[in-house]
Amino acid sequence: MSLSRTVVAPLSGLDAAAALGQPASTLVRGGPFLFVSGLAAVDPATGRLMRGTIMGETRMILTNLRQLLEAAGSSMDKVVKVNVLMASMLEAVPMNDVYVRFFPDPPPARTVCGARLPDGCRVMIECTALA
Amino acid sequence: MMRDVIAAPRPGLDFRRHYGHHQSPAIRAGGLIFCSGMLPIDPDTGERRHGTLTEEAHCIFGNLKLLLESAGSSLDRLVQVHALIYDSIEYDVLNRVYRQYVANGPPARTVWTAQSEAGFKIQLDVVAAA
């Protein structure tokens, strides 16, 4: 059995992988799933990384994620798994406070961990959704 | 296609209730089960079970077995594991305990160092076949 693999072109200004200069596609559809690259807080107005508080970066990322998913025919309530990578786990609570407002009830599965992130990002969020 | 929410198989494993994490214990979709980051939490009380990496791993695999079996899967059906440990110096310690739980054709695995909440020494992020 062979399943399709399609690179989905992201909306302009929301190409997070390109904003970090990475050889990565922001969205790839594979079989029934849509795989989203780790998103940094890119301001769609400038196409550049935004520097902010953990709450500001989380809000920017999830606002962009919602737009990316919907433009690709998916949505926040089709997300099955989210990985949240944080520069400091001390900021996990304010991250969660913003996160709660973006995902439905019941929410997707999620893993949160602290990691060294590129370009001074405080948080990066990747996810897998049903296409 | 639908996603199915897998509820906590025991009261202690509802991390949302105990710790406010906005997450479901696991989601089944597309023939796979995606589990939230598994931590050494007492499955009955929800208390954190800090210990050595080995002790924490035993607790995590116990919780993972409960969760996967409640979803109709099992440890034998693990497809992919991300093992996040606090320090790579414990890599061999991880392998010794890990081996006990994946006797029949181990799943794909990646290990790296990362911080987990509350200073836990290990967290497992897994995908299993439904």
Domains of chain B are: 4-129 (3.30.1330.40)
Degrees to nearest 5, angle at CA B128 with B125 and B130: 145
Answer for the pair B39, B8: CB distance below 8 angstroms, yes or no.
no
Q: What is the CATH number of the domain that holds A76?
A: 3.30.1330.40
Judged by DSSP in three states, A129 sits in: strand
The confidence score (pLDDT) of residue A16 equals: 75
Residue B95 to residue B91: CA distance in whole angstroms: 6
Give the pairing type, strands B78-85 and B108-113.
parallel
Angle A92-99/A54-71 helices, nearest 10 degrees? 40
Q: Is A80 on the interface with B (CB under 8 A)?
A: yes
Q: Is the ipTM of this complex over 0.85?
A: yes
Number of domains making up chain A? 1
Short-list A72, A121, A113, A104, CA closest to B22: A104
Is the per-residue pLDDT at A1 higher than 80?
A: no
Give the pairing type, strands A27-30 and A33-39.
antiparallel
- List the domain range (segments joined by +) for residue A123: 5-130
> In this complex, how many residue pairs, one in chain A and one in chain B, have their CB atoms less than 8 Å apart?
77
Model pTM greater than 0.90? yes
Is the per-residue pLDDT at B24 higher than 90?
A: yes
DSSP run (H or E) holding A100: none
- At B13, the pLDDT band (50, 70, 90 cuts) reads very high
Answer for the pair A28, A5: CB distance below 8 angstroms, yes or no.
yes
Going across the sheet that includes A123-130, the strands are A5-8, A27-30, A33-39, A123-130, A79-86, A109-114
Q: Is A33 on the interface with B (CB under 8 A)?
A: yes
Contacts of A110 in chain B (CB under 8 A): 21-23, 36-37
- At A12, the pLDDT band (50, 70, 90 cuts) reads confident
The confidence score (pLDDT) of residue A3 equals: 83
Q: What is the pLDDT of residues A28-77, one digit of tens each?
A: 999 999 999 999 999 999 888 999 999 999 999 999 999 999 999 999 99
